[in-house]
Amino acid sequence: MAAEILEAIMLVCFGLSWPMNALKSYRARTAAGASWQFLTLICLGYIAGIAAKFCSGSISWVLAVYFINLACLAVNWGVYFRNKKLDAAEAAEKQAAA
């Protein structure tokens, strides 16, 4: 039980950063400085954690925290692709004006 609580604390600490990151990126309106590779690695890490829960048979309430974090990462992906689109539109405007 203590291990589950510690794991959940770790996941909540990481998980709280994703909404803050999404909001910061949304306000920035650019994908500059964002990394799809980083987001991919984080997603793979959470998926591995979920798989480990299933493989070890230790499915518990902590699994829900993994899925919440993945949902927050999905929002980050959405903001990333939105910002890439905004960057492309701005580049096209600059090219048309030149």
Locate the domains of the chain by residue range. Answer: 59-98
For the chain, the first-to-last Cα distance in angstroms comes to 63
Regarding pTM above 0.85, the answer is yes
Question: Are the C-beta atoms of 11 and 67 separated by less than 8 Å?
Answer: no
Tokens of 19: 């909404």
Q: What would the pLDDT profile of 26-73 be if each residue is shown by its tens digit?
A: 999 999 999 999 999 999 999 999 999 999 998 999 999 999 999 999
Phi and psi for 55 in degrees, rounded to 5? -65, -35
